[in-house]
Amino acid sequence: MEKHDSDVNDRLKQEIYGQPKIKPDEQRRYMGTFRERVWLTISIAEIKQQDWMTIFKETLQKHPDSLVIINGNIDDRYTSKYLTAANQLNVDFTIKTGAEIKTKPDSLAVVVTAHEAVFANPVDVAKLSQQPVKSEDQPKEKHESFFKHLFHK
């Protein structure tokens, strides 16, 4: 009998408060998506300080099936060129507005996200811009195998 009462109480709570969300703080931070799906983020402070268009376009070209999420609560002069670039590259985008989309300097202005988990790291545009570019032309260091080293002195 207690199991049935618990089910009824759970059902009532769900009807009153709505469906519980998975990682609600993370979804608020990344404008409705999960961190593990994110390719790139640009904060409001970063978008006001510098033009990140090169890294933004490179990310969209590498991941054309991405979704660009734009913070619609900040001035269009900061985000319109990112919308235009996404549109020109035929990448889906959405503009999020409402009370849950924050406008503090550390809040996000632009998020480039995948439709499934990608576990990219780092995703912050400033950190990505500091990483050295990987060159495919550089010869890789050849390491001897353990067994070859062990048996062939």
**Tokens 């089910």 appear where?**
7
Q: Give the pLDDT confidence of 32-73 residue by residue, as tens digits.
A: 999 999 999 999 999 999 999 999 999 999 999 999 999 999
**Chain centroid, CA 56 distance in Å:** 12
Q: Thinking of the domain 22-121, which architecture would CATH place it in?
A: 2-Layer Sandwich (3.30)
* The pTM of the whole model exceeds 0.85: no
Q: Give the pLDDT confidence of 74-92 residue by residue, as tens digits.
A: 999 999 999 999 999 999 9
Alpha-carbon gap, residue 56 to 51, rounded angstroms: 10
Alpha helices, DSSP H, located in 1-153: 2-17, 24-29, 44-49, 53-62, 76-88, 125-130, 146-151
